[in-house]
Amino acid sequence: MGKHKRYKRVRKNLEYYSMNFGINPPYKLIVDGEFIQQSLRYKVHIKEQIPKLFANTVVPCVTKCTVSSLKRKGSNYSGASIIAKRFERLPCSHGKKVIDEEECLKHIAGDRNESKLLFGAQKVSLRNAIRAVPAAPLVFIRECVPIFEPPAKATQEKFKQELDGKLGLSKEEKKQIEDLKGPVEEQKRRKRKGPKGPNPLSCKKKRKKVQASPKKKKTPQKVRREGEEEVKISERKKEWRKRRRRRGKKKKSADEVTDLPTPGTTQMTKQEVSS
């Protein structure tokens, strides 16, 4: 996810908490020892990067139980204990006695997060416990990126309950509405005069679709008839051709007869030649 989208989601979630649960800036972020250790490992500056993520002032806080737990863990957590001493220290809600860090933060969260704090938790068990508390915003570090979680299921359910309580009706109001519904249903409704449907003049008539008549299949009887007709036509054509040939032969013979010279004419010509 890009930076722009991440910051946009963070602003949206902060608006949700401020509008519905009254968690407003300046924010107080209470962190556990593992959160500080993770920030050291990946070089995340809590006082600089987290206010930049929220685009507002964020005050990191710890309890005396977290400082004492970091001291007990030894030299590996010495840098985290030094950083924890520089943060603002909040009073523990369980009393003066030092207890386990996780139990201390659960005590501070309570059932509703009445102190309106942001929780920076790196332990998985602590994260799950804070998610179960409504109106408890959660921050953790994934590698080198601080992440602000969207509202958990418990927070969303709490918001729905409060919304139903604001907009919902009391029992007395519901009874009054039910009593009023009875006579209203019994009353006969007056029939409305005028055309019920649309104006028939304004409606276009549906055009009937002309279906193309399917081609009829030829029956075997028709096929036979057509075949017989074709045979008759071919026979007629043959006869007509024969007649034409005969007429042609007769014409040729008649022409040959006309071309022959008559006996009288031949003699006259001989005499003319001799003279």
> Of 218 and 136, which is predicted with more confidence?
136
pLDDT over 50 (residue 275): no
pLDDT at 270: 44
pLDDT at 186 over 80: no
| CA 24 – CA 9 distance, rounded (Å) | 17
Per-residue pLDDT tens digits for 14-35: 999 999 889 999 999 999 999 9
Structure confidence by residue, pLDDT tens digits, 33-47: 999 999 999 999 999
- pLDDT beyond 90 at 52: yes
More confident residue, 5 or 179: 5
Which carries the bigger pLDDT value, residue 73 or residue 185? Answer: 73
pLDDT tens-digit map of 219-271: 555 555 666 677 677 788 888 888 888 877 776 666 665 555 545 444 444 44
- Of 112, 90, 111, the closest CA to residue 101 belongs to 90
What pTM does this model have? 0.59
Q: How far out from the chain centre does Cα 135 lie?
A: 30
H helices of 95-207, in order, are 101-109, 124-131, 153-167, 171-186
pLDDT of residue 245: 81
Q: What are phi and psi of 161, to 5 degrees?
A: -60, -45
HSE of 249 in the Cβ direction (CA atoms, 13 Å)?
6
pLDDT at 150 over 90: yes
Question: Which pLDDT belongs to residue 47?
Answer: 93
- Calculate the average pLDDT of the chain: 81
pLDDT tens sequence across 188-217: 566 667 667 777 777 777 777 766 666 555
- What is the percent of the chain where pLDDT is above 70? 75
Any idea which of 65-69, 86-90, 222-226, 232-236 has the lowest mean pLDDT? 222-226
